[in-house]
Amino acid sequence: MIYTVTLNPSIDYVIKVKKLVKGHINRVNEEHVYPGGKGINVTRILKNLDNDSIALGFVSGFTGDYIINSLEELNLESNFIKVKDGFTRINVKIKSEEETEINGQGPQISDEELNRFYEVIDQLVDGDILILSGSIPSCLDERLYEDIMKRVEYRDIKVVVDATKNLLLNVLKYKPFLIKPNNNELAEMFNVELNNTEDIIFYAKKLKEMGAQNVLISMGKDGALLVSEDNQVFLSSVAKGEVVNSVGAGDSMVAGFISGYLKSNNYEEALRLGAASGGATAFSSDLATRELIDKLIKEIKIEKIN
């Protein structure tokens, strides 16, 4: 089974305002509400690609109930720990001349509630896939991803980590199956400027030397780059389309990559489906549909660098 972890999920309230004027009443031209959070995004795309998964994490209050009910309506399975103190956050995403985001805080998670979450993690078995996505709430220890990976270290579980800077660097000693920083995050990790593809390959291989089995770098309009566990380097092209939504594109790439790998056991095909899935979300107002992914995958070219 595939498990996705979203420690601080959200209701994403996406609104379009013709012209945002601060200090005045602004009328919304278009609005949408989605269950949000990086792991939840991965779960939704996995389902679109015919892969079952179980969404894990924490929810609280009436907004937490909305998350669970929304996933049920999408025929998605979840096993969230219900938290007593606070409520699942609401993130407001304002699309106007430029994008503005206001993200909520989320609930306070007690030690007892965290231990209940660990009990769920302890039930994972050999052959499972565990996807850790996004940030760790401020009320929890920043070593939480490390603690999770330590708990599953001696089981045959493939762990995928999509997180930023130290959250990602600190788990490399546990040899995650896949990590997926973007090119900007890669530069930040090593405090360098990446001027070309050769630079990206060099530092992606550094992450592999530090413990990651496979390193997938999303590069926006420049495609994606994979350094595989057998040290092969693949570069994907991008499909043609108008970018209307940057939210969830990286999560979609992770889901597409894992789905492609499970179906083909081939890294080139995994990268192809990952690139198509990420592009399809970027070209959509919500997450990608299967129909658009299937259309775009025909446009994706994979180049083997070495």
Which residues are known catalytic residues? 251
For 287, the token pair is 């997450």
| Residues 122, 143: Cα–Cα separation, whole Å | 17
Cα angle value 133/78/144 (rounded, 5°):
35
Query: With 0-12 CB in 10 A as exposed, 13-18 as middle and 19+ as buried, what is 295?
Result: middle
Q: How far apart are the first and last CA of the chain?
A: 33
The 3-state secondary structure of 48-92 reads HCCCCEEEEEEEEHHHHHHHHHHHHHCCCEECCEEECECCCEEEE
Q: Are 269 and 234 in contact (CB under 8 A)?
A: no
Phi/psi for 203 (5° steps) reads -80, -25
| Residues 293, 152: Cα–Cα separation, whole Å | 33
